Amino acid sequence: MAKSRRPFAQLLRVSTTRTDGGALFGTIIKDRWERFVSPDRQNRVAIGNYSMLVNHVDGWILVNAGPGDKSPQSLSLAPMRSRSSLLRELRELGLVPKDITTVVLTHLHNEHAGGGTHMTSSGRVLSTFPNARYLVQQDALQDASHPSARSSSLYRADDYQPLLDSGQLEVIDGPREIAQGVWVEPAAGPTPGHQVVVAEGLDETYAFLGSLVPTSMHLTPEVVGAADWNPEATCRSKQAIRAHAVKESWTVGPVGRDEWVRAADLESLASFSLGEASVKSAVVTKARTSKERLPIAV
């Protein structure tokens, strides 16, 4: 395959969310997880919210859009999230929203999908990326459209309804190659219809894990968030994806770090996070924090 036909992936930290530590670590007792991360006075811990940008010969692919800039529906959310830096990150890379040709949403929770739409000065909500097709799993859209009482606060109709109205939202069911060398794979558990994205590069294959592993401590199967739709399914998805990643020598993220991590280093990173071992050098490529430009596919 010619070099120009291969994608390149970049991990972007686009916001930070402060969430309840007990909910984040589920059944793990506080004495244990507090040795890994220190909560604030309200028992909240900060976790990153990440996107992946793939430089593909057929156009720029964005995975997850962060929380966006629409006003929160509840004032209680405002102090829990930082402002989204996604559009600024794109500008610093020399890109504008019209350059994005595909947006993959791993699921439709507002903090990951909210940036897919924006509110104009007149109050209209429109697509943020006007030239892009948006991809989401059928089960994810079904859950967002008909949420349970437990999950209703996690969704906003104006994150996806304007995309349905404009015909930009493409609903898929199961695995699919969405561009040459780029696949989506269902990995349910955090939500129904949650999916991961695998992008094959020249020297590395990158797997974006969505919300499967919010911190490196969650690499361990037993550590699953209490807010997950199906903790047992999350556990199975993590085990399956991790086994596949190790077998195929993938590079994965996010795993609670601002870097891509080689699959071969996940075991030592998990042990380190549990306080059981020292960590090996697992860093591959840091999330972009300066104004370097990505190579443009030709």
Cα separation, 264 vs 251, whole angstroms: 9
Exposure on the CB side of residue 145, measured as CA atoms within 13 A: 13
Exposure on the CB side of residue 76, measured as CA atoms within 13 A: 3
pLDDT of res. 168: 98
**Mean pLDDT in residue range 188-203:** 95
pLDDT of res. 274: 82
pLDDT of res. 1: 36
Please, what is the end-to-end C-alpha distance for the chain in angstroms?
Answer: 14
Q: Which residue has the higher pLDDT, 279 or 240?
A: 240
Cα separation, 190 vs 163, whole angstroms: 23
- Whether a cis peptide bond, with omega within 30° of 0, leads into 67 is no
**Mean pLDDT in residue range 127-156:** 96
Range in 201-210, 273-282, 288-297 with the lowest mean pLDDT: 288-297
| Beta strands 59-63 and 44-56, pairing class | antiparallel
pLDDT of res. 5: 45
Which amino acid belongs to residue 264?
A
Residues composing the chain:
298
Q: What is the pLDDT of residues 253-270, one digit of tens each?
A: 999 999 999 999 999 999
Q: What is the pLDDT of residues 142-188, one digit of tens each?
A: 999 999 999 998 999 999 999 999 999 999 999 999 999 999 999 99
pLDDT of res. 289: 46
Is pLDDT above 50 for 296? Answer: no
pLDDT of res. 283: 55
- The model carries a pTM of 0.91
Range in 62-76, 173-187, 229-243 with the lowest mean pLDDT: 62-76
DSSP 21-34: HHHHHTTS-HHHHT
Is pLDDT above 70 for 278? Answer: no
Residues above pLDDT 90, as percent of the chain? 80
| Alpha helix ranges (H) inside the chain | 21-25, 30-33, 86-92, 110-113, 138-145, 161-166, 231-248, 266-273
273 pLDDT tier (thresholds 50, 70, 90): confident
The token duo for 8 is 């390149």
**Mean pLDDT in residue range 12-39:** 94
Q: Among the CATH numbers 1.10.4030.10, 1.10.10.10, 3.30.930.10, 3.60.15.10, which is that of 3-286?
A: 3.60.15.10
- Taking the domains of the chain in order of start, what are their residue ranges? 3-286
**Mean pLDDT in residue range 1-29:** 82
